[in-house]
A = this chain, B = another copy of it.
Amino acid sequence: MTIKQRLGVCYYPEQWPRSFWAEDARRMREIGIAVVRIGEFAWSRLEPREGFYQFDWLAGALEILHRAGLEVVLGTPTATPPKWLVDKMPDMAPLGADGAPRKFGSRRHYCFSHEGYARECDRIVEALACAFGEHPAVVGWQTDNEYGCHDTVESYSIAARDAFRKWCRSKYETTEALNRAWGNVFWSMELGSFDEIELPNLTVTEPNPSHLLDFKRFSSDQVVAFNRRQVEIIRNHSPGRAILHNFMGAFDAFDHYAVGADLDMAAWDSYPLGFLERSRHSDEFKTRYMRLGDPDFQAFHHDLYRSCGRGRWQVMEQQPGAVNWGAWNPVPAPGAVRLWTYEAFAAGAEVVSFFRWRQAPFAQEQMHEGLLLPNSEPNEAYFVAGEIAQELNRMEARAESARAPIALAFDYESAFAWRIQPQGQDFSYFDLVSAFYRALRKLGLSIDVVPPAPEEMKGRKMILAPGLFAARPELAAAMAQSGALVLLGPRSGSKTKDFQIPLALPPGDFGSLLGVKVRRVESLRPGVALAIRDLPGAHFSGWREFIALGEEAEAALCCEDGEVALSRRDNFYYLSGNPNDELLDALLRRLLAQAGADIIDLPQDIRVRDNGPLRYVFNYGSEPADISEIAGDAVFLLGGKTLDPCGVAAFMRKDEAE
């Protein structure tokens, strides 16, 4: 399936005089915007008093946009319940881990477990879907907004506690089973009834990790259930419209694959500069990329959400200028917004939608730039959008999809697990997977980021799954049958699903595949490096394991202290530590060659990405780069052999062109 790639914008008609709407729509069309998202925070205007619906203005806005030739994605307003509703049921507030209520006055002030609030959501979603479900302008729906933003997945309210008890009862059936799964004999934590279960906050020292993991699973399930109620209502009333949700970046507090499974496509909100500031990169890195963002962060999420959307995805909010929420908020480099947009299209985005049309002069996000200044003059991104729209037309750009030969697993339960038990305080699953992703991308590869599902293993040349929390026999079997080269570890398979150490020792059910046992592990403070023999500059840091080789396994790399660093059994490898970039680069070059995957020797800060037959090249550096070797004698659709900073080139791949 290929789909025409288009631009979108986020628009808030309720925030502007009605007299602005038609001119706004006209200008959107003029610069080539095709899709407009509206409505997702407008509850207080849609229902200013309980049961007193005011949909006229929305109908008017839809009509104006429709007449201008714009398509609309309509958001449900459930991320911002109005004050009258909150006052009706004050216990709908989420409670923080410290036990304090999280009050009205910004957004996301609801507990996912509060049935009363869920019913209110059913009601407003039903009303909206009934009213506009078949409106010709409406081509899609967005449920709620950025689930989990501001740490809102977990709530410690009474509603959450009662729901968690029910969830546990349903999962375990007997307290004996729960006590066994959690190992509650330890520290006399055994429970005699499901009503004795507490939420895992405010404990004297850390709670039981199994208890925490189930609470995170439960909290994730509550998000899934909350979303599904809206999806089902909308489906009933709005046939043929795509339902999506706009996810966030570097966010792992619920299972996005599971939410995605109920949607028609995935979307995410891409803020390269804000996310860079929030990351754990060094100050030097942050300063270096302060106006363009981490060259690999957006790309990773494009791949991740393409997976969540089972191939269909888009950017719902693209940063168009400085934002308001970073620790510091620089203006993007000239060219940055265009580069970001093409990175998304290169990864198969159907739409890239800018946030937002016009900068609001009021309230929390008044310092967040838009395509227009608050006084309606064009800001820089306005012109950029126009330029891209023309280029897209000229290129006849389409979202293509194909299974990549390289699959990198990203698993939300593993993220839960290693947050619960980092064992070394800076251990991060997200950073570990990101390091593998970056190393692969620097070698010019297109990658699928996938859940650890057996069906994702098929048809791959290489499968990578660092830090994969728990092994499942069917996954191990799928890996074995795939014929792919498989690289696991560190920490892969080191727990059972109940968060216990497997009795066969880690890597648990991966053990027979790999032929190793992990006897001991250690975390290492920053600055401690365990050099790898015969690979100058390569080392482990932060994490290292001591493994015993089974009969069929051999040491492929060793640490200088003699411990095995990489084991091999046939085409199954286990890496027993946290690798630095040099180690990853050397290791992946070796394994990719063995797997028969082609790499490209890219200059630093150059990245490539294939979308169907098109190959895109991006320059994240501060100097012009010569990409003639990459392009060969291909004809450029965008750019040319010299790529300026922030530059984008695109050409037809030779293997495709021939």
Give A residues with C-beta under 8 Å from B: 14-15, 41-45, 48-49, 77, 80-84, 87, 94, 98-109, 149-150, 152, 182-192, 196, 198, 200-211, 277, 283, 286-287, 290, 321-322, 324, 327-331, 359-367, 369, 373-375, 377, 379-380, 421, 423-425, 498-505, 519-528, 546
A99 touches B102 (CB 8 A): no
- Closest-by-CB residue of B relative to A145 is B187
Complex: A524 Cα to B329 Cα, angstroms: 7
Do residues B328 and A188 form an inter-chain contact, with CB atoms below 8 A? Answer: no
Q: B505 contacts A106, CB within 8 Å?
A: no
Contact B287 A202 (CB under 8 A): no
Whole-angstrom CA separation of A15 from B192 in the bound complex:
17
Once bound together, how far apart are the Cα atoms of A185 and B77, in whole Å?
A: 13
Whether the Cβ atoms of A45 and B83 lie closer than 8 Å is: no
Distance in angstroms between the alpha carbons of A374 and B517 in the assembled complex: 12
A59 to B375, CA, bound (A): 67
Contacts of A527 in B (CB 8 A): 283, 287
Smallest CB gap from A367: residue in B:
B423
Q: How far is the CA of A329 from the CA of B421 in the complex (A)?
A: 12
CB of B183 within 8 A of CB of A360, answer yes
19 A-B contact pairs sorted by A residue (CB < 8 Å): A45-B188, A83-B190, A87-B196, A98-B100, A102-B202, A106-B206, A106-B207, A107-B187, A183-B361, A183-B363, A186-B362, A186-B364, A187-B363, A277-B525, A329-B523, A331-B520, A361-B501, A362-B500, A366-B500
Determine the chain B residues whose CB is within 8 A of the CB of A287 once the complex forms.
525, 527-528
What chain B residues lie within 8 Å of A546 (beta carbons)? 331
**CB closest chain-B residue, reference A527:** B287
* Cβ 8 A contact of A202, one of B100, B204, B362: B100
* Best-surrounded residue of A82, A201, A277 (most CB of chain B within 10 A): A82
Residues of chain B with a CB closer than 8 A to A102's CB: 202-204
Copies in the complex: 3
Given A287-B525, A322-B522, A424-B328, do A202 and B363 touch, yes or no (CB 8 Å)?
no
**Bound CA span A519–B372, Å:** 10
A187–B104 alpha-carbon span in the complex (Å): 11
- Knowing that A15-B186, A104-B203, A209-B364 touch, tell me 13 more A-B residue pairs with CB under 8 angstroms: A44-B184, A80-B189, A82-B190, A106-B205, A106-B206, A106-B208, A150-B205, A277-B525, A290-B524, A329-B522, A361-B500, A374-B505, A375-B504
Q: How far is the CB of A283 from chain B (nearest CB, A)?
A: 7
Q: How far is the CA of A15 from the CA of B188 in the complex (A)?
A: 10
Instruction: Identify the interface centre among A189, A425, A505: most chain B CB within 10 Å of its CB.
Output: A189
- Bound-complex Cα distance A367 to B495 (A): 11
Cross-chain contact A107 with B204 (CB below 8 angstroms)? yes
Pair A363/B329 contact, Cβ less than 8 Å: no
Question: Are B367's CB and A421's CB within 8 A?
Answer: yes
Given contacts A361-B501, A364-B209, A528-B287, contact A83 B191 (CB under 8 A): yes
A189-B105, A504-B375 are known contacts. Are A204 and B94 too (CB-CB below 8 A)?
yes
Which of B44, B321, B375 is the one whose CB lies under 8 Å from A188? B44
Decide if A328 touches B525 in the complex (CB within 8 Å). yes
Give the residue of B100, B366, B525 whose beta carbon is less than 8 angstroms from that of A501: B366
Residues in B whose Cβ lies below 8 Å from that of A283: 525-527
Name A543's closest neighbour in chain B (CB-CB): B328
Q: Output the least CB separation between A248 and chain B (Å).
A: 13
| Nearest Cβ on chain B to A438's Cβ, whole angstroms | 22
Q: Are A327 and B82 in contact (CB under 8 A)?
A: no
* A502 contact set on B, CB distance < 8 A: 361
Q: Contacts of A209 on B, CB cut-off 8 Å? A: 363-364, 366
Known: A186-B41, A205-B150, A375-B505. A424 touches B329 (CB 8 A): yes
Least Cβ–Cβ distance between A511 and chain B, in angstroms: 11
Picked from B44, B206, B210, B369, the residue with its CB within 8 Å of the CB of A362 is B210
Q: How far is the CB of A308 from chain B (nearest CB, A)?
A: 24
Return chain B residues, CB-CB under 8 Å to A189: 44, 80, 83, 104-106, 363
A364 and B208 form a contact (CB under 8 A): yes
Q: Are B188 and A82 in contact (CB under 8 A)?
A: yes
CB distance from A204 to the nearest CB of B (A): 5
CA distance A526 to B43 in the complex (A): 40
Q: Which residues on the B side are within 8 Å of A519 (C-beta)?
A: 373, 377, 379
Chain B min CB distance to A333 (Å)? 10
Q: Give, as a whole number of angstroms, the nearest-CB distance from A247 to chain B.
A: 17
The answer to whether B324 touches A423 (Cβ under 8 A) is yes
Q: Are A327 and B186 in contact (CB under 8 A)?
A: no
A275 to chain B, nearest CB (A): 14
Q: List, in ascending order, chain B residues with CB within 8 A of A374's CB.
A: 501, 503, 505
Check B15–A520 contact: CB distance below 8 A.
no
Cα distance A329–B425 in the bound complex, in angstroms: 9
Contacts of A152 in B (CB 8 A): 204
CA distance A84 to B84 in the complex (A): 40
* A102: nearest chain-B partner, CB-CB: B204
Alpha-carbon separation in the docked complex, A360 to B186 (Å): 9
Contact B327 A182 (CB under 8 A): no
Residues from chain B with Cβ under 8 Å of A100 in the complex: 98-99, 202
Known A-B contacts A186-B365, A501-B374; A84 and B331 likewise in contact (beta carbons under 8 Å): no
Contact (Cβ within 8 A) A521 B204: no
| Assembly CA distance A365 to B198 (angstroms) | 20
CB closest residue in chain B, given A83: B196
Q: Which residue of chain B lies nearest to A49 when distances are taken between CB atoms in the complex? A: B192
CB distance from A218 to the nearest CB of B (A): 15
Neighbour of A48 across the interface among B101, B190, B205, CB < 8 A = B190
Q: Is the CB of A208 within 8 A of B363?
A: yes
Whose C-beta in chain B lies nearest to the C-beta of A101? Answer: B202
Best-buried of A149, A202, A324 by chain B (most CB within 10 Å): A202
CB-CB nearest in chain B for A46: B188
| A208 and B45 contact, Cβ closer than 8 Å, known pairs A286-B525, A287-B527 | no
Docked CA distance A324–B362 (Å): 44
Specify which of B80, B82, B204, B366 is in contact with A106 (CB 8 Å cutoff): B204
